[in-house]
Chain A
Amino acid sequence: MSSPSTRIAGAAGGQPASNAAGAGRDLFWAVLVFALVAVLPLLTDSRVLSDYVIRLSAFAIFATSLNILVGYGGMVSFGHAMFFGGGAYAFGLLMQKAGTSVPMGMLGAIVFSAVLALAVGAICVRLKEIYFAFLTLAFQMLLHSVILSWISLTGGDQGLMGGIPRPPFLGIDLGQDRNLYWFSAAVAVICLLAMRLVLQSPFGYTLRMVRDNADRARFLGIDVWRVKLYAFVLSGVFASIGGVLLALFVSGAYPDFSYWTMSGEAVFMIMLGGLHVFAGPVLGAGLLLLFNDLVSRFTEYHGLALGVIVLLFALGFKRGIADFIGHAYRRVATGKRTG
Chain B
Amino acid sequence: MNPSELLDCVTSVSCLVTQTTTGLIIGALLFLVAAGLTLIFGVLGVVNFAHGSLYMLGAYLALTVFRATDSFLAAALGAGLGVALFAVVFERLFMRRVYGTDVLMQLLVCYAFILILDDVVKIVWGGEFLSMGMPEAFQSPPFFVGGGVVPVFYLFLMVVAVAIALLLWWVLGYTKIGKIVRAAAQNATMTSALGINTNLVYAGVFACGGLLAGLAGALAAPVRSMSPGMGFSILIESFIVTVIGGMGSVSGALVGALLIGLVRSFGSIGFPLFVEGAMFAAMVLILVLKPSGLLGREPRP
Question: Taking A128-B299, A268-B111, A301-B123 as contacts, is the C-beta distance between A70 and B104 under 8 angstroms?
Answer: yes
Docked CA distance A162–B172 (Å): 58
Docked CA distance A78–B111 (Å): 10
Contact yes or no, A76 B287, CB < 8 A: no
Contact yes or no, A304 B116, CB < 8 A: yes
Contact yes or no, A123 B111, CB < 8 A: no
**A135 is contacted by which of B94, B111, B287 (Cβ under 8 Å)?**
B287
Shortest CB–CB separation between residue B286 and chain A, in angstroms? 11
B47 closest partner in A (C-beta): A130
**A139 is contacted by which of B94, B280, B291 (Cβ under 8 Å)?**
B280
A134: interface (CB < 8 Å): yes
Contact yes or no, B94 A315, CB < 8 A: yes
Contact yes or no, A78 B122, CB < 8 A: no
Question: Taking A76-B102, A260-B232, A304-B120 as contacts, is the C-beta distance between A145 and B276 under 8 angstroms?
Answer: yes
Size bin of chain B's contact surface? 35 or more
Contacts of B137 in A (CB 8 A): none
State which of B65-73, B175-183, B197-205, B235-243 sits at the interface with chain A: B235-243
Docked CA distance A56–B204 (Å): 45
A318 closest partner in B (C-beta): B105
Docked CA distance A260–B111 (Å): 10
**B104 is contacted by which of A134, A139, A141, A267 (Cβ under 8 Å)?**
A267
Contact yes or no, B284 A123, CB < 8 A: yes
- In the complex, chain B residues 91-146 whose Cβ is within 8 Å of any chain A Cβ: 94, 97-98, 102-105, 107-109, 111-116, 118-120, 122-123
Question: Taking A131-B291, A137-B236, A308-B112 as contacts, is the C-beta distance between A267 and B107 under 8 angstroms?
Answer: yes
- In the complex, chain B residues 241-255 whose Cβ is within 8 Å of any chain A Cβ: 243
Contact yes or no, B277 A142, CB < 8 A: yes
Contact yes or no, B94 A76, CB < 8 A: no
Contacts of B98 in A (CB 8 A): 314-315
Shortest CB–CB separation between residue A293 and chain B, in angstroms? 17
A129: interface (CB < 8 Å): yes
Size bin of chain A's contact surface? 35 or more
A310: interface (CB < 8 Å): yes
Q: Could you give, for residues 60-89 of chain A, a 1 whenever the CB lies within 8 Å of some chain B CB and a 0 otherwise?
A: 000000000010000010100000000000
Q: Could you give, for residues 59-90 of chain B, a 1 whenever the CB lies within 8 Å of some chain A CB and a 0 otherwise?
A: 00000000000000000000000000000000
Shortest CB–CB separation between residue B125 and chain A, in angstroms? 14
A307: interface (CB < 8 Å): yes
- In the complex, chain A residues 14-57 whose Cβ is within 8 Å of any chain B Cβ: none
Shortest CB–CB separation between residue B193 and chain A, in angstroms? 26
Contact yes or no, B111 A264, CB < 8 A: yes
Shortest CB–CB separation between residue A151 and chain B, in angstroms? 10
Docked CA distance A110–B33 (Å): 39
B57: interface (CB < 8 Å): no
B233 closest partner in A (C-beta): A141
Contacts of A137 in B (CB 8 A): 236
Known pairs A126-B291, A135-B284, A313-B108; list 7 more (Cβ under 8 Å): A129-B102, A133-B107, A264-B115, A267-B108, A301-B119, A307-B116, A315-B94
Q: Give me the 4 closest cross-chain CB pairs, A-B, nearest first.
A: A307-B116, A303-B115, A307-B115, A304-B119
Residues of chain B at the chain A interface (Cβ within 8 Å): 41, 46-47, 94, 97-98, 102-105, 107-109, 111-116, 118-120, 122-123, 232, 236, 239-240, 243, 273, 276-277, 280, 283-284, 287-288, 291, 299
A-B contact pairs, 12 of them (CB 8 A): A76-B103, A133-B103, A134-B243, A138-B236, A138-B280, A139-B280, A264-B115, A268-B108, A306-B115, A310-B111, A313-B108, A315-B109
